[in-house]
Amino acid sequence: MRLITIVFVLALIGSMAWGENAAGASPKTLQEGKSLYVCSNQGMKLVKFDSETGTKQADFLGVDAPVDVDVGPGDFIFATDEATGAANVRRFDPATGQADTDPYGDTSLYLGGPRGLAFGPDGHLYVADMLFGVSQVVEFDDTGAYVQVLPDDPDNPVLISIEDVACDGSGSIYVTQWIYEGTEVAGVYKFTGTGWQLLGGTGDLLAPWGLAFGPDGDLYVVDEDINHFGVFRYNGTTGAVKGLFGQTAANLGQPGYLAFGPDGDLYVADAQDNTVKKFSGPLKPDAGTFKGIFGETAVNVPEPIGLVFGPSGGVQPQKPTLAIEKLGTGNILVTLTGTSGKSYELRHTPDATVSDFTTWTFGATITLEGTTTGSWEDTAPADRTRFYKAKEQ
């Protein structure tokens, strides 16, 4: 292994775990850190955590019974409030944690028991609303103005006991339905434009709650029924059954909603022990493996339900960045900005989906003493699909 020590005079504060990009493309920097927002239904608040460390950052007050949360227009944080007499959607500033004085748009006029919510690609808000067995999905535009109740069969409604709602990349709307009266069919339903249709094999679900699309395009659904328990995966287009996802059945007690993090891992709210549980994501070699309780959630989120990763807001501390570019000479131009005195090991691989750093080919070690820019000679053939990665030592 070659050792390169490059010294520069400007030192910046921060920490970096990973960075990667494909040589030949324009240099890219590490993604800015995000926060995890979790609804605490019993605690009457949203709780904000650092997405990397799991450290609690703030309590967001202004909701009485929050159920679900999502990121909406302007990168604001939106949460449903199902409290009696106050059923609506509330909007929060991610930087200050301050809720709007009034409910968002027309939501207090058209909602009776809001549960899940999701924003479509066009910025429209969809809310799963259920009150005394009457279920509907209500659409609001990107200003919060009422648009419509998505149509159902008025004589024989399909939706009777809905829970969560999700949108795919094309803007299609999906909801989960569990058994309330005994006449409905549990599963995931997709809006056809004129009504609702059971998606593929999701009729095998018995008590579906949260749902989310994964980084692989598949649909992931929480089933709370004791006879069909865990997070189940389905083809995101056809709904074909792909079965239980990893170790989710053995490591969840009372799961609610779920979300995928910027790291590609799956996060599930568990009300049994007031935690958020983390599982290795579907694109990783150990997909579905239980990774433990996320951060400080166990002592900060009474009865967690909905959760989402979103912007931290405000002025962020400057973080170290990594940019790697293949030069015409065959050298690799490495630009690192980080904490003084840190060392980073650079390696490369032809397959960017490999997450285990130990399987990557050796490259070089750089000792960083501030902002560093230098060239690293790489004798391997130039290849636009050749990926490089740096790990702090």
**For the chain, what percent of residues have pLDDT higher than 90?**
66
Q: Is 90 exceeded by the pLDDT of residue 20?
A: no
- Do 263 and 348 lie in one domain? The reply is no
For the chain, how many residues are written?
A: 393
Q: What is the pLDDT of residue 51?
A: 95
Check pLDDT > 70 for residue 376.
no
- Domain boundary residue among 311, 327, 350? 311
Quote the domain boundaries for residue 84: 34-311
Assess contact for 342 and 293: CB atoms under 8 A.
no
Bridge partner list, 232 = 221, 244
Of 282, 311, 340, which residue constitutes the final position of a domain?
311
The domain that holds 377 is classified in CATH as 2.60.40
Percent of the chain with pLDDT over 70: 76
Residues 45 and 10 in one domain: no
Residues 196 and 301 in one domain: yes
Give the residue from 311, 346, 363 where a domain finishes.
311
CATH code of residue 38: 2.120.10.30
Q: pTM (2 decimals)?
A: 0.74
Q: Are residues 18 and 145 in the same domain?
A: no
Between residues 17 and 142, which one has the greater pLDDT?
142
Query: Which one is predicted more confidently, 208 or 357?
Result: 208
- Looking at the fold, whether 382 and 284 belong to one and the same domain comes out as no
Q: Answer yes or no: are the C-beta atoms of 167 and 150 closer than 8 Å.
A: no
Angstrom distance (rounded) from CA 296 to CA 279: 16
Q: Using one digit for the tens of pLDDT, what is the confidence trace for 254-282?
A: 999 999 999 999 999 999 999 999 999 99
Is 304 in the same domain as 337? no
DSSP calls for 102-123: S-STTHHHH-SSEEEEEE-TTS
Instruction: Please indicate whether residue 18 or residue 352 has the higher confidence score (pLDDT).
Output: 352
Provide the pLDDT for residue 226: 92
My answer on whether 249 and 109 are in the same domain is yes
Q: What is the DSSP letter of 382?
A: P
Instruction: Spell out the long-range contacts of 79-87 with Cβ–Cβ below 8 A and sequence spacing 24 or more.
Output: 79/39, 79/46, 79/117, 79/306, 80/111, 80/114, 80/115, 80/116, 80/117, 80/127, 80/306, 81/114, 82/113, 82/114, 82/115, 87/111, 87/112, 87/113, 87/114, 87/131
Question: Which one is predicted more confidently, 8 or 109?
Answer: 109
pLDDT value, residue 1:
32
Interatomic CA distance for residues 347 and 62, integer angstroms: 47
Q: Out of 27-31, 235-239, 302-306, 337-341, which region has the weakest mean confidence (pLDDT)?
A: 27-31
State whether 332 and 197 are in the same domain.
no
Given a cut of 70, whether residue 341 has pLDDT beyond it is no
Q: In terms of domains, do 276 and 348 share one? A: no
**Does 223 lie in the same domain as 134?**
yes
Residues near 10 by beta carbon (within 8 Å), at least 6 away in sequence: 370, 371
Q: How far apart are CA 104 and CA 69, in angstroms?
A: 13
> Does residue 315 surpass a pLDDT of 90?
no
> pLDDT-derived band of residue 393, with 50, 70 and 90 as boundaries?
low
Number of domains in the chain: 2
CB contact at 8 A, 223 and 207? yes
- Average pLDDT for 62-71: 97
Residues 246 and 369 in one domain: no
Starting at the earlier edge strand, list the strands of the sheet with 331-337.
321-326, 331-337, 371-377
Q: Give the pLDDT band of residue 204 (cuts 50, 70, 90).
A: very high
116 and 76, same structural domain? yes
Query: Does pLDDT of 246 surpass 70?
Result: yes
